[in-house]
Amino acid sequence: MTRAIETTDIISRHLPGVCKVSTDLLREGAPIEPDPPVSHWKPEAVQYYEDGARIEAAFRNYIHRADARQEEDSYEIFICHANVIRYIVCRALQFPPEGWLRLSLNNGSITHLVIRPNGRVALRTLGDTGFMPPDKITRS
């Protein structure tokens, strides 16, 4: 969580008055066994059960429609790691969540997900790094 906390501190300086909340639900982990399987990443099976339940709880807790009576747009910024973001994007778009590892994100990238009060979901950007100098773009 160190990088996420550091990034939160940097972003917070540019958003005075915005409330910061920390949660272990968004901590990096192994959300669900990927399909198709990959040879380069094989956590122990127990990790999928422990991390998967926590990351699914994050999705259910934080990704939802706005109240139908809400009159203005609202925004929430989540600063977390790629596995969590990829899983949440798959779940929000109602794609098979096992496909999360098919998506690739650069470090420090921006993903913009829109959820309308009627339940319609749109992915505006996934892993955008256009704001970064090319020599600063990395991937784990």
pLDDT in tens, 80-132: 999 999 999 999 999 999 999 999 999 999 999 999 888 899 999 999 999 99
Computed over every residue of the chain, the mean pLDDT equals: 93
Instruction: Over range 60-77, report the average pLDDT.
Output: 89
- Percent of the chain at pLDDT > 90 equals 71
Question: pLDDT at position 108, please?
Answer: 92
- More confidently predicted of 68 and 77: 77
Q: State how far the alpha carbon of 97 is from the alpha carbons of 36, 81, 93, in Å.
A: 11, 16, 9
Question: What does 60-107 look like in DSSP terms, one character per residue?
Answer: HHH--PPPTT--S---------HHHHHHHHHHHTT--GGGGGGS---T
Question: pLDDT at position 69, please?
Answer: 86
Those residues with Cβ within 8 angstroms of residue 14's Cβ, 6 or more apart along the chain or in another chain: none
Instruction: Determine contact, residues 97/87, Cβ cutoff 8 Å.
Output: yes
Domains, the chain, with CATH or none: 1-10+20-104 (3.40.50.1240)
Check whether 1 has a pLDDT greater than 80: no
Those residues with Cβ within 8 angstroms of residue 39's Cβ, 6 or more apart along the chain or in another chain: none
Question: pLDDT at position 4, please?
Answer: 86
Question: pLDDT at position 70, please?
Answer: 85
